[in-house]
Amino acid sequence: MAEIRPDEVTAILRKQLAGFDNEVDIYEVGTVLQVGDGIARVYGLSNVMASELVEFPNNVTGMVLNLEEDSVGCVLFGESSLIKEGDRVKRTNRVASFPVGDKLLGRVVNPLGEPVDGKGTVQFDKYMPIERKALGVIARQPVKEPLQTGITAIDAMIPIGRGQRELIIGDRQTGKTAIAIDTIINQKFTHTEEAKKYGIKPVYCVYVAIGQKNSTIAQVVAKLEEEGAMAYTTIVSAPASSPAPLQYIAPYSGATLGEHFRDSGRHALVIYDDLSKQAAAYRELSLLLRRPPGREAYPGDVFYLHSRLLERASKLSEDLGGGSLTALPIIETQQGDVSAYIPTNVISITDGQIYLEPNLFNAGVRPAINVGISVSRVGGNAQIKGMKKVAGSLKIDLAQYRELEAFAKFGSDLDKATQKILAKGARLVELLKQGQYVPIQVEKQVVSVFLGTNNYLDTIDVKIVKRFEKEFHEFAELKYPAIYENIRSTKELKEDTIQLLKKAADEFIEKFRK
Amino acid sequence: MSVFRISYRYANSFFQLAEEKKSLKKFAEDVELIHNTLVQSKELRAILRNPVIKQKDKKNLLSIIFGPKIQKETSDFLEFLVTKGREEMITEIMKEFLNLRDDKEGIVKTNITSSVDLTDSVKKEIASKLEKKTNKKIKTEFEVDTNIIGGFIVQIKDTVYDASVKHQLELLRKKFSEEISI
């Protein structure tokens, strides 16, 4: 057995004590006047700043939200039952901030940056304030690089660019989180040597869980760990059991961490899951602070709550390093009501939305994206050329299909042209179906969409479209690997590749029939 | 309106009157007398707060208690407060007046807590040191609290100068609870 010499222990203790000096400690204090419902009114603290962190007894921290003439209104990040009237409150001289640094990757932390994954203290570079003003016009440039989600339907028709804000909206149980998690998993490729070779820069992910069940968060963490995605991901967790103030600041904390990557010239993806719960948490504490309620009892500044958060997503100019912060906010609607207050607000702020429908979901179309009303306002510029080429007709084909689909239910005898459109549409819908946790590389997506839009599936039965697609990829990868290689390296679909692809398709269909 | 704003408004107008009459000191003595009496007498506070008792009786009572000892302006002011229905806030208003006086004269109230009873010379030394540091006149209040183990704590307004052993030990505990980086 190894022995530990007492003098070694002494040395360690001495080292720990080295930075300790016993000078007079100067701090500012106030007294609790009133406490309850997660809010404390404090007398004193005359120099306190708005949104400064303050310390209460029993290790409870709070944040100053209301500065009044004779008192200060604080929200508590802990149990209000631990605090009594007359307790002493200490200033920390620190505006609510979040520790940032690369060491946070792979960790699960609460919105104050304290670890909740039991892996010891969090190592960090510095504290950054959670509320930062969004960048101005000069510091930005248009979105130009793609952020591949690995979901064919999205990457083909609703492309997302790095620095964009794309809303994921839908009822409960329609697969909103699944899209977000798939996107995180798909970023694994960007961290590989191969991606480096093709000039794809790594994307660091932050997943902010607001008002979710602890079990759900644990599941997400486990899944990401299983897929090896935690290496480049941080999870900011404010579960349903945490006090409303923590849920309220969680997205800002996540954005702060994302900005750390963006400002160092890298790319970040932040997912806010979900903002409707954050708005509810903010409503709770606004009402407790006696701010006047407005529509749906939300306070007047609930629009600003989300706009200032999402405005922080950006693509930096080359002078500033060209980093980006992509935001994927999630909103849960009630019974498909997108005209409620919070959904309309966030729809108007973001650069597009992915709309998920329970009807589609139940009909087995997963991801249940309603392509008709989902849009991406800026992502088109970011799409790779090859994808743009094949996806153009995809959207039109699907739109035509949807239009005729309703008619087809009534009539039996349809003309040839209509039948053709219906048959093609059904196959395209089938082609865009995709399992959870199986992101597809962009070159494969291009090939699949090419097959669909160029009528190669017309002779295949709808039920076996997926099998056909899978087997074709296996076949082409073996016999014509140049197709994928060309798309990957040039990011285009050139004429020679198309010829090759056509040849491969003809050859494979022949074989597949047998 | 909040208690603070009301008491400030009344106190400030009375304070301005005192300055106009150039007899702030006399007024302040009156106010201090009233304040101390109110703080000490729970019964008097209870009567003033009681809505059942008529205003006339309250006025009479106040003039009987304070009338002979204070100036006419002060007793008029008290009567005015009762007329305006602010009699339950007299204590706060008087306190605010004293605060205004302290601000004007540059007096700062200081609370000094020590673990043992300090000798007069030490007390004086602390007071003069603090006066030098703050550039204000210091009104000291001494307190003994054995809980702080050793050293002393000085509180000037909201700022605390903490040199107590208890606080040092707490800091040390915090330091040790941090992760050891070897």
In this structure, are residues A502 and A476 in contact, taking their beta carbons and an 8 Å threshold?
no
pLDDT at B182: 46
> Which tokens belong to B19?
């300055």
Q: How far apart are CA A398 and CA A393, in angstroms?
A: 9
> Which tokens belong to A160?
């997302």
DSSP structure class, residue A323: -
Residue B114: which domain range? 106-181
pLDDT at B179: 61
DSSP string over B122-160: HHHHHHHHHHHHHTSEEEEEEEE-GGG-SEEEEEETTEE
Q: Which of A12, A22, A121 sits opposite B182 (nearest CB)?
A: A12
> Domain of B12: which CATH number?
1.10.520.20
Q: How far apart are CA A87 and CA B129, in angstroms?
A: 29
Which of A24, A67, A107 to mutate against chain B (most B CBs within 10 Å)?
A24
Shared domain for B97 and B11, answered yes or no, is: yes
Shared domain for B42 and B56, answered yes or no, is: yes
DSSP string over A327-377: EEEEEEPSTT-TTSHHHHHHHHHSSEEEEE-HHHHHTT-SS-B-TTT-EES
pLDDT at A124: 92
Q: How far apart are CA A129 and CA A115, in angstroms?
A: 18
Per-residue confidence of chain A (514 residues) as pLDDT tens digits?
A: 567 788 888 887 777 777 666 678 899 999 999 998 889 999 989 899 999 999 999 989 999 999 988 889 999 999 889 999 999 999 999 999 999 999 999 999 999 999 999 898 899 999 999 999 999 999 999 999 999 999 999 999 999 999 999 999 999 999 999 999 999 999 999 999 999 999 999 999 999 999 999 999 999 999 999 999 999 999 999 999 999 999 999 999 999 999 999 999 999 999 999 999 999 999 999 999 889 999 999 999 999 999 999 999 999 999 999 999 999 999 999 999 999 999 999 999 999 999 999 999 999 999 999 998 999 998 888 899 999 999 988 988 998 898 888 777 776 678 888 888 899 999 999 999 999 999 999 999 999 999 999 999 988 999 999 999 999 999 999 999 999 999 999 999 999 999 999 999 999 999 888 7
Question: Which residues 119-178 in chain A show a CB within 8 A of chain B?
Answer: 120-121
Distance from CA of A21 to the nearest CA of B (A): 9
Shared domain for B15 and B90, answered yes or no, is: yes
Shared domain for B77 and B140, answered yes or no, is: no
Q: pLDDT by residue (tens digit) across B85-102?
A: 998 889 999 999 998 998
Answer whether B160 sits within 8 Å of A28, measured CB to CB: yes
Nearest chain B alpha carbon to A45: B158
Shared domain for B21 and B69, answered yes or no, is: yes
Q: How far apart are CA A206 and CA A106, in angstroms?
A: 10
Q: Which of B159, B178, B179 sits opposite A28 (nearest CB)?
A: B159
Q: How far apart are CA A250 and CA A130, in angstroms?
A: 9
Shared domain for B56 and B121, answered yes or no, is: no
Burial class (CB in 10 A: 0-12, 13-18, 19+), A313: buried
Distance from CA of B60 to the nearest CA of A (A): 33
What is the share, in percent, of chain B residues with pLDDT greater than 70? Answer: 97
Place of tokens 């919105």: A111
Shared domain for B65 and B154, answered yes or no, is: no
Whether B180 has a pLDDT exceeding 80, the answer reads no
Distance from CA of A42 to the nearest CA of B (A): 12
DSSP string over A17-50: HHT---PPEEEEEEEEEEEETTEEEEEE-TTPPT
- Collapsing DSSP states into helix, strand and coil, what is residue A62? strand
**Domain's final residue, options B84, B103, B122:** B103
Q: Please give the ipTM for the structure prediction.
A: 0.77
Residues of B in contact with A12 (CB under 8 A): 180, 182
Shared domain for B53 and B137, answered yes or no, is: no
Shared domain for B77 and B136, answered yes or no, is: no
Tell me, yes or no, if A16 comes closer than 8 A to chain B by beta carbon: yes
Nearest chain A alpha carbon to B163: A24
In this structure, are residues A65 and A73 in contact, taking their beta carbons and an 8 Å threshold?
yes
pLDDT at A1: 57
Helix axes B72-83, B55-66, angle to 10 degrees: 160
Annotated catalytic residues of A are 377
The answer, yes or no, to whether the previous bond of A202 is cis (omega within 30 of 0) is no
pLDDT at A262: 96
Shared domain for B97 and B9, answered yes or no, is: yes
Answer whether B180 sits within 8 Å of A19, measured CB to CB: no
Residues of B in contact with A28 (CB under 8 A): 158-160
Shared domain for B123 and B93, answered yes or no, is: no
DSSP structure class, residue A320: G
Which of A25, A27, A59, A123 to mutate against chain B (most B CBs within 10 Å)?
A25
- Collapsing DSSP states into helix, strand and coil, what is residue A233? strand
In this structure, are residues A156 and A445 in contact, taking their beta carbons and an 8 Å threshold?
yes
pTM for the structure as a whole:
0.87
Q: Which amino acid is at A26?
A: I
Which of B158, B169, B173 to mutate against chain A (most A CBs within 10 Å)?
B158
